[in-house]
Amino acid sequence: MPIGVASFEQIISGGFTLIDKTLLISEFIKNNNTVLIISHPEKFSKTTNITMLKCFFSVPNLPDNLGYQRALFKETKVMENSEIIQNHFCKHPVIHITFKNYNSCNSWKCIEARLHEELSRLYREHQAFEI
């Protein structure tokens, strides 16, 4: 595992070793809660797992991204479940907001400005989707 690389996409496309935790996707789907809070102590793969969920569920923003996203999961346990693949793989608009880079903000105005920028970017990214 490389130091400083936590994104599922970067780990897979970089050829690094990753323990297959894709069955978390199945558990996520089976869970009928409206809200799911995922918390673990620092350095317990939260970012990797969250970015894995994003890569799996998110609708590709470019037509050729579907093949790329499929390649990320090609040898994983979740791909053995055809029902999950058919009903959920690349079928949901996903909004992912991380607050990792907000620690340099020293005021609420700074946090608010960054959040506005992030929400604007997400809006532009998702405006083509019909929800």
Contacts of 38 (CB under 8 A, 6+ apart): 46, 49, 50
Q: Which residues of the chain have pLDDT under 70?
A: 1-2, 37-44, 63, 128-131
Domain map (residue ranges) of the chain: 8-93, 97-131
The pLDDT tens digits of the residues spanning 93-113 come to: 888 887 777 888 899 999 999
Contacts of 84 (CB under 8 A, 6+ apart): 25, 26, 29, 78
Of residues 102, 131, 126, the one with CA closest to residue 114: 102
